[in-house]
Structures are given as structure tokens and as C-alpha cells.
Amino acid sequence: MKFTRLLLVMVAASMLTGCGYNRLVSLKQQTDSSWADVENVYQRRADLVPNLVKTVEGAADFEKSTLKDVIEARQQVNNIKVDPNSPPASPQAMEAFQQSQDALSGALSRLLVVVERYPDLKANANFQNLQVQLEGTENRITVERRKFNETVQQYNTATKQFPTVIYSGLLGFKERPYFASRPGSDQAPEVDFNFGNQQGS
């Protein structure tokens, strides 16, 4: 009896291995690793924000509402709890995470535009260094998000291929959500640095 049970387990394991179970495990690990890279660059950006805010606060008469937006957006990012070792399992959880990060991106973009009105702040070496770090981090975020979507595509495709699709869901290999582009991100933003002080108008 025990021998028969052991034989059945060995046959089932052999069938799963032959049908791509090990490949699913590998692809799942790749998506987890890629997610950790995404989390790392987002955390790097969040860590830059306090120093950026502190530097900008030192500028005389700087617009407090702009700083408040950045501080509140960072707080919202901190309030979204996700597992740093595994991506959000549902589209809703991914959307909540992405919306909080997009809000911080928007607040930081507005901050950098407003800084154009403050030549002394723009010339501040500490601010310039933080701006370079922030821009570099934004580029890394774009790269890591693209890599993550690529690994998720490979994983999702594998879970839906025959014969893997027969057992993938039963063994916990659920479809994973992608990062989606922001609405309107296909259109270049309009940036006006004149701020109503146009000459000769």
C-alpha cells in the first residue's frame, strides 16, 4: 500500500515536472525578484523626499502648498502596505499602489516646475544634487517597471499555456497584474515657464 502511494506520488511529480511546473516556479521567482527591484527604486525616491523638502523649505517665500502636496503624497505612499518580496496579487492592489506612486510623481514634478521661479534655490548646490538624484531615480523606476512587466508577461503566458493551464491555478500560480501607463501619458505635458510674466505682452 505504501509502495503504491509512493509510486503515485513519484508519477505525479514526474508529470508535473514534465508539464512545466519547475518552469512556473522559476518564472514566479523572477517576478518576485523583479518586484524587489521596483520596490527598491521607489524606496530610494521616498528616501530622497525629506532631504528635498528640507532644502526647499529653506528658500524664502517658497510656495507652501506645493511642499504640502509633496509631503502628503509621500505619506500616502507610506500608507500603502505591500509585500516587498512579492508583487500585489490583485489588479486592485496594484492599482492602489500605482496611484499612490503616481500622485507622488505628480507632486514632485510640480515642485520642480515651481522651483523655476526661485533662481537662488535653483543655484543651491544641495538642491541641484538632489534634483540629479531624483531624475536618475525616476529613470530607474521606468526601467525597473518595464522589466517587471516583461517578467510578468512571461509568467502569465506560461500559466495559460497547455498543459500547464490545467493545474497552474490549483497549485497557486495565479495571474499577476501589470503596471499600467498613467492616463494621458501618451501625450507630452505642456510646460510653461513664463508664469504670467511675459515680456512685451
Q: Is residue 104 part of a domain?
A: yes
Which residue segment(s) compose the domain that 148 sits in? Answer: 19-167
Q: Is residue 66 part of a domain?
A: yes
DSSP secondary structure letters along the chain: -HHHHHHHHHHHHHHHHHTTHHHHHHHHHHHHHHHHHHHHHHHHHHHHHHHHHHHHHTSTT--HHHHHHHHHHHHHHHHS---TTS--SSHHHHHHHHHHHHHHHHHHHHHHHHGGG-HHHHH-HHHHHHHHHHHHHHHHHHHHHHHHHHHHHHHHHHHHSTTHHHHTTTTT----PPP-PPTTTTSPPP---STT--TT-
Q: Is residue 152 part of a domain?
A: yes
Q: Is residue 197 part of a domain?
A: no
Please compute the mean of the pLDDT values over residues 116-139 and round it to a whole number.
92
Q: Is residue 81 part of a domain?
A: yes
Q: Is residue 61 part of a domain?
A: yes
User: What confidence category does residue 128 fall into, taking pLDDT thresholds of 50, 70 and 90?
Assistant: very high
Report the number of distinct structural domains present in the chain.
1
What pLDDT score does 58 carry? 81
The per-residue pLDDT for range 20-51, each reduced to its tens digit, is: 889 999 999 999 999 999 999 999 999 999 99
User: What confidence category does residue 1 fall into, taking pLDDT thresholds of 50, 70 and 90?
Assistant: low
Q: Is residue 185 part of a domain?
A: no
Q: Could you give the CA distance from residue 72 to residue 85 in angstroms, rounded to a whole number?
A: 26
> What is the domain-level CATH number for residue 79?
1.20.1440.20
> pTM of the predicted model, to two decimals?
0.79
Instruction: Output 201 or 87, whichever has higher pLDDT.
Output: 87
Q: Is residue 173 part of a domain?
A: no
Percent of the chain with pLDDT over 70: 80
